[in-house]
Amino acid sequence: MNRDVVVTGIGLVSCAGEGIAAHLAAFASAEPPRTDAETFAPYPVHPVAPLTLDTQIPKKSDQRQMEPWQRLGVYAAGLALDSAGVKEDAAFKSALQLIVAAGGGERDVAVDGAILTGLREAADPGAFLNERLLNDLRPTLFLAQLSNLLAGNISIVHGVTGASRTFMGEESAGVDALRIGHARIASGQVEAMMVGGSYSAERPDVMVIHEMGGFLLKPTYRPVLEREDEDGGGFVLGSAAAFLVLEAAEHAAARGAKALARLLPVANDRVARAPGSVTESLTRLIDEAGIERPDVVLSGATGLSDLAREEIAGIQARLPGTGIRATGDMIGHPMEVAAPFGAALAAALCAVGSAGEVAVTSVGHRRGEGVIRVVKA
């Protein structure tokens, strides 16, 4: 089978706000995204817009037991269910399967700091470390950091009780979540899936991790494709979440749902990084995805200037003259969420805007490339 797959629901949360309208406004605007350059100075970050959590996570107890990245994901998933018109449809949600792209949860910075401080004075650092890990990292704390708890919380809060799976692997996880979600519906294995992810950038631990790799831009925000300088550019992390409800076209039509856009098969790659490898990969993926004349390319470019140059070269080699817009200039770089956000925004542009076809590219900061084709339904 090779069934058409349509997008019937979109949930978006970022520094631009929440929902489709806020993000289309951000796409149309020439203004830079909301940026916090003070909290984690010298590293700027794009903080999520204020949210009224009660509208999507009614129970305070549920809110309290989640980490910020989980709250963002559950909130965006609720928006996607609202958008698809199935928030109160228990039968639909009982069969709805879920694919989440997520990292490994959030560190307990206070515990980490206490352990690192104690290690300096410990007579036996190894024994001290083992003792502190056993006593300070309580089972409840550890379990709260498991990546698949986002899927679990979506199930608990929203009643989405079909099978779920969680993909880890930074930007590639978002690409693969879309690829597998599309393939399972197109092949007839399932009728509907909710696909997406969430990321909280407002955390000192991720600043440390990515700065150790030399990946962060500092000290001020600059447009993604203008980070060409001697330091190699870098990314500005952004807190964001994006979920899409995907359905077989016949299934959506049978329940009277409006198809916002059509998602085509997702092309992905994982080349060994060497000069020219990203350009070669993207040109091949664009051909594989069957993209010829999109109205715009939404690039998930991180802001690392060497990768951006190769990405642009690959796009221009196959799609000369097509406008390119970096989603990082709207929401920052949200790691696993980059591809789902690009696909969701592309669907919104096809549904509400004038776009007939949008291409989405994703080039991971260390590994993984992907191309997504979205067309008007």
CATH of the domain at 244: 3.40.47.10
Nearest of 135, 133, 140, 99 to residue 116 by alpha carbon? 133
pLDDT at 126 over 60: yes
Same domain, 127 and 233: no
pLDDT digits (tens, 9 = 90+) for 77-88: 999 999 999 999
Q: Find the domain containing 121 and state its range.
A: 109-143
Same domain, 230 and 324: yes
Same domain, 196 and 128: no
Last residue of a domain, one of 143, 158, 192: 143
Same domain, 133 and 265: no
Q: Which long-range contacts (CB under 8 A, 24 or more apart) does 268-276 make?
A: 268/172, 268/175, 268/176, 268/179, 268/368, 268/369, 268/370, 268/371, 269/368, 269/369, 269/370, 270/172, 270/367, 270/368, 270/369, 271/369, 273/366, 273/367, 276/310
pLDDT digits (tens, 9 = 90+) for 205-244: 899 889 999 999 999 999 999 997 767 899 999 999 999 9
* Separation CA 117–CA 129 (nearest Å): 11
Same domain, 150 and 241: yes
- pTM (2 d.p.): 0.94
User: And the tokens for 114?
Assistant: 């206490």
The total number of structural domains in the chain stands at 2
pLDDT at 355 over 70: yes
